[in-house]
Amino acid sequence: MREKLLIGSFWLSFFNIVCKILGFIYLIPWLKFMGTIHNQQTAQAIYNVAYLPYALFLSLGTAGFPSGIAKKIAELNINGNKNQIKELFKSGLIVMEIIGILSALLMFIFAPTLSKISPIVDHTAGITAIRSLCFSLLIIPILSALRGYFQGLNYSFPFGVSQLLEQLVRVVCILVGTYLIRVQFNGSILSAVILSTFASSIGGIVAFLYLLFIGKKRNLFQLKDFYFLPLKSISHMKGLAIDIIKESLPFVYVGSAISILQLIDQFSLKVLYSLFFPQSSLSELQTLYTLASANPNKLAPVLLGIIGSITISALPLISTVKSKPELLQGTSQILRLAFTFLLPTSIGMIILCNPLNTLFFGFNLDGSRYLSATIISTSLLGIFTIVLSILQALSFHKKAMQITSITLLLKLIIQIPCIYLFKGYGLSIATIICTMFTTIIAYRFLSRKFDINPIKYNRKYYSRLVYSTIVMTILSLLILKIISSVYKFESTLQLFFLISLIGCLGGVVFSVTLFRNKFISKLGKLF
């Protein structure tokens, strides 16, 4: 299990990291194409107002179903039920496309309402931007079904390549299109944002064609499986389709939690801020939303990329464990991987939050502080996601859904005093409080139910992990202080160099400190 988990996580993590890097590196030229700081903030606000509802509908339509399909296929694959796997896949395609059509229609219909309750000045622009993403909802569900199929069969490499292709095509379309619209033809900000949102559809099509090619080449399915089936055939597969829906609905709900939390931030900010601080204008609120939510949520989710990779690799494997020792070993490895990535990376990003924020969004101390708060809340969301995914892999769907509901309810309640007391910081503080509380509940349930304690099982490793992170933090802060006192970093290239230098040095120090015994052993063999 450990070997499969590590291999799967490696490939998915590698492609996820590249995708996440592409997903925020493009912001540097994209924002520059927009022009002034005010134009940049407007573009970010409109983009985010469109993308968050899209992310929710996408989560509702896709987040859970691929995982449900993957879990079911993994179980069938162990028993060698190839015919059932293919039938399940065909049924999954039908279910996903129906969901995609319904999601697209709902988002199109409710676009005016979604725009009106969001903290932006131009609601007409918000409506147009939201509706520009509807076409993507017709494509991505089918792509997600394909990915669930590959995930269930443990084909991690093509899964990862499809993600990379999707992101690469998307980024290229965004940058080329925005440059032509804003720089060459002096077009509107709205036109550039619409093209940027529509680029996700083009990326999805390319990724779908790639998986279609790979699947056909490896004889995993036939092209006729993708044809619209006659009603008679659909009726024949009704039972399997219902099984998929039953298996997937808990994943859908839990997988949508992060998107729902972000939407709560978006819509509650306007209502609560206007209530508590009525003297604030809508323009000021839009700026606050951009600094406290839109901007940080472009950078911080890089932390969730690796978590997603671990979850995708772990879910099919954990669902097939047969004994308590296997479960203890599996959950321990998953949590080790998660903490090993999240702890140093989140600390490193907090250390570099000022140069990071300046590099992407221009110098703004408030923006840097908001970014730090969002990094902390996102890291906790990552652990929350991992623990709930383990529960779901073990078929404790009801418990996972209960914990998700408690999290969302707590967020709604805590958000009110947090925004009143801490204003924009209240968004992250509320998320930190509710996810910490419910993650502890989920972990205690897992420990008591199976009489295992994965963290205690690896306590020596976690002690080394904390020690290594402390060493990395001290040295990184020291190096950053020395370099910053000698030389001022102002240009994009200089800031990029600074971030890369500190990041690389911090990573080396952390790795050597954590794995020093292994390094010493290997050096001893060499000499």
At 363 the pLDDT is 84
Of 64-73, 85-94, 282-291, least confident by mean pLDDT is: 64-73
Q: Which residues contact 83 (CB under 8 A, 6 or more apart)?
A: none
Give Cα 196 to chain centroid, integer Å: 19
Calpha distance 518→483 (Å, rounded): 31
Query: pTM surpassing 0.75?
Result: yes
Please report, as a single letter, which amino acid is at residue 326.
Answer: E
Length reported for the chain: 527
- The answer to whether 189 and 43 have CB atoms below 8 angstroms apart is yes
Give residues with Cβ within 8 angstroms of 54, minimum separation 6: 107, 130, 133, 136, 137, 197
User: Please, are residues 183 and 134 in contact by the beta-carbon 8 Å criterion?
Assistant: no
According to the model, what pLDDT value does residue 206 have?
95
Residue 429's contacts (CB-CB under 8 Å, 6 or more residues apart) are 373, 377, 414, 418, 422
Nearest to 430 by CA among 409, 460, 461: 409
Which pair of tokens denotes residue 350?
A: 């907090």
Q: What is the CA radius of gyration of the chain?
A: 23
Does the pLDDT value for residue 509 go beyond 70? yes
Higher pLDDT, 330 or 383: 383
Cβ-contact 29, 175 below 8 angstroms: yes
Question: Once rounded to an integer, what is the mean pLDDT over residues 380-407?
Answer: 91
- CA angle 437/443/447 to nearest 5° reads 145
CB 380 within 8 A of CB 257: no
Angle at 139 between CA 29 and CA 246, to 5 degrees: 125
Q: Average pLDDT in the 1-28 region?
A: 70
Question: What's the rounded mean pLDDT across residues 501-518?
Answer: 88
Q: Characterize 114-128 residue by residue with b for buried, 16 or more Cβ atoms within 10 angstroms of its Cβ, and e for exposed.
A: bbebbbbebbebbbb
Chain-centroid distance of CA 302 in Å reads 7
Chain position carrying tokens 């520009």? 132
* Backbone angles phi and psi of 425, in degrees to 5: -65, -20
Predicted confidence (pLDDT) at residue 209 exceeds the cutoff of 90: yes
- The neighbour count for residue 301, using CB atoms within 10 Å, is 20
pLDDT tens for residues 344-382?
Answer: 999 999 999 999 999 988 888 999 999 999 999 999 999
Cβ–Cβ contacts within 10 Å for residue 82, how many? Answer: 10
Dihedral over Cα of 131, 134, 136, 137: its sign: positive
**C-alpha separations of 138 from 105, 110, 252 in Å:** 10, 17, 17
Q: Which residues contact residue 484 at a Cβ distance below 8 angstroms, ignoring those fewer than 6 apart? A: none
Question: Cβ(133)–Cβ(46) under 8 Å?
Answer: no
What tokens were used for 424?
Answer: 């924009």
Tens-place pLDDT, residues 226-268: 655 544 445 555 666 676 667 677 777 887 888 889 889 988 9
**HSE, side-chain direction, 13 A CA sphere, residue 419:** 26
What pLDDT is stored for residue 405 in this prediction?
95
Tokens describing residue 24: 């925020």
